[in-house]
Amino acid sequence: MSLALSPEEQAIAASQDGAGMAMRIVAESARLLGVPRLIPIVSAHIDGALYHGDSGTLFAERLVEGGAKVAVRSTLNVGALDLMGCSRIRLEEPQRGMAWRIMEAYRKLGCEQSWTCAPYQAGHRPTQGSDVAWGESNAVVFCNSVLGARTNRYGDFLDIACAITGRAPDYGLHRPENRRARLVFDVSGLSPSYLASEIAWPVLGSLYGREVGNAIGIVRGVAGHPGEDALKAFGAAAASSGAVGLFHIAGVTPEAPDVATILAGPEPEAVIRVTPEMVAKARAGLSTAAAPKAIDAVAIGSPHLSNAEFDSLERLIAGRRLAVPIYACTGRHALALLEKDGRRKRLEASGVVIVADTCVVVTPIMPDIGNGVLMTNSGKFAHYAPGNTGYAVLYASLADCVESAVRGKPVFTDVAA
Amino acid sequence: MNSAAEILVPGKAGEGEALVLTAPISFWGGVDPKTGRIADVRHPQHGEVIAGRVLFLPGTIGSSSASAVLMELVHNGRAPTALVLHEPDAILLLGLIVAREMGWETPIATRLERGAFDAYRGGAVSVGADGAITAAV
């Protein structure tokens, strides 16, 4: 079936202004996917304001020149600059100017200056069952899985085009029948103490992404709600190792009160029984550095740290002086609370470098030292840091990351699966 | 070897040495937008350059910024001369759709079953404006 646009949509697509360009981009994507119609959306999260090169800036400015404005609530993902001035970005001219221009263009299009990859912890939480157009793979998977709102994985450019038109192609995860689970990812063979540990979730997410790819799965065998930050870490790791846009956890996520309710058929197409050996292998796969004697830095906050995660960080540091810096990436929403009672100053005095509005794998912040070793508790940082920063990575729990930063060398104490 | 492929995004016909990826790739973080070099150290084709090649993609994973990286490669003249995908990837191909809207010349993207990729490995390949994929003899 070919795409049928309404007369109103056709009229917009025929116009030479920014809205016309946005409508043509949405319509072309729909045609590519063989989608018959567009549907209205109620919100957008936009990943396009990060500077990857001049082409993105020129595109956003073309929309601004064409008088385009977003038609729905639209938050912004990270940019390449720390507009709050917490950290120093080593981006030189002319790239710096272009990075600022793209951020400015998205502001002029009417987007909220949230500058975070965790908009769902910055007050943008669409209701269950609503259709939205979100970009940024971790935000997409959280929005679908934890909030139960419906979005596909919107790429850069399509997200803003959907926000301007207020429409999205009707396909994929917007359709309830495509949200049902076909695979079971059974973690009941893992110890309860492991599942209760912070380190379990990014590791399991990484394994889950590798095992299920872009299929929809349900995790079985989780005793209680592991907490929102654990689900955030699981989803982010799953979306970076596979093309995961939606997961379910029986008894935890809103569309899966139990396994039977969300399964597509009477039986799953496959059951992946997770063993401690599989977990150990997935965990080893998150590190690229082979037993280094020292580390050069720690990076945390992908996705951006919540206030609860800052509480843990502060408690683990316990006022000690760090031997190597901890880069703590967050959004301005979390910064507001940190500023309030002098906590930011205390953390910085210990040697924490707070990074706001952006993060260490999307823009140059960490020194370019060559053969550096970075420790992280983030499955997503572990995945992207080697390619984007040149640092080899060592994966560890937050507690071990902090101990290692205090001593300047890797320390491992975490629980086994 | 000659395959008639379905055109995913129309564009300029292209030819070049085939680069057949043996694992899915995330363009963002996986390909350097300035040079077209595969930067993902865990990818089997790490170090290869996609610029000027006919790129065969068995699948894509990861970040939703793949489109931005592909558009930047087009803008920098470092894009593949043609893309051959196992299945349409709306995120990646958006980079070509938007580049066309901007008025830039883009390579053609066509669809071909990944089981047929091997026949093209290592040789020169041309992709016609009609989507036909031909191995040079």
Of A272, A327, A332, the C-alpha closest to A123 is A332
| Percentage with pLDDT > 90 across chain A | 92
| Percentage with pLDDT > 70 across chain B | 96
- Where do the domains of chain B lie? 2-135
CB-nearest partner of A48 from B33, B68, B76:
B68
> For residues A306 and A314, what is the distance between their CA atoms, to the nearest angstrom?
12
pLDDT of residue B1: 67
B33 contact A CB<8A:
yes
Q: What percent helix, strand, coil does chain A show, rounded to 5?
A: 40, 15, 45
Name the catalytic one among B26, B63, B67, B126.
B63
CB-nearest partner of A32 from B8, B28, B34:
B8
Q: How far is A55 from chain B (nearest CA, A)?
A: 6
Low-confidence ranges of chain B (pLDDT < 50): none
Given a contact cutoff of 8 angstroms between Cβ atoms, the answer to whether A33 and A23 are in contact is no
Lowest mean pLDDT, pick from A132-136, A306-310, A353-357, B5-9:
B5-9
**Confidence at A1, pLDDT banded by 50, 70, 90:** low
Fold type of domain B2-135: Glucose Oxidase; domain 1 (3.50.30)
Q: How far is A342 from chain B (nearest CA, A)?
A: 35
- A229 SS3 class: helix
Mutant choice from A25, A157, A173, A371 vs B, greatest count of B C-beta within 10 A: A157
Inter-chain touch A52–B69, beta carbons under 8 Å: yes
Tens digit of each residue's pLDDT (9 = 90 or more) over A64-102: 999 999 999 999 999 999 999 999 999 999 999 999 999
**Confidence at A242, pLDDT banded by 50, 70, 90:** confident
Quick one: tokens of A213?
């790819």
**Confidence at A414, pLDDT banded by 50, 70, 90:** confident
Tell me if residue B63 is catalytic. Answer: yes
Q: How far is CA A70 from CA A64, A135, A159, in A?
A: 11, 15, 10
Give A288's contacts in chain B (Cβ within 8 Å). Answer: 41-42
Work out the number of other CB atoms within 10 angstroms of the CB of residue B47: 10
Q: What is the mean pLDDT of residues A260-268?
A: 96
Whole-complex ipTM? 0.90
pLDDT of residue B102: 97
A16 contact B CB<8A:
no
> For residues A314 and A147, what is the distance between their CA atoms, to the nearest angstrom?
28
Q: How far is B50 from chain A (nearest CA, A)?
A: 16
Inter-chain touch A154–B95, beta carbons under 8 Å: no
pTM, 2 dp:
0.92
Tens digit of each residue's pLDDT (9 = 90 or more) over A348-367: 999 999 999 999 999 999 99
Q: Which domains does chain A have, with CATH numbers?
A: 7-174 (3.30.499.10), 180-285 (no CATH), 297-407 (3.30.499.10)
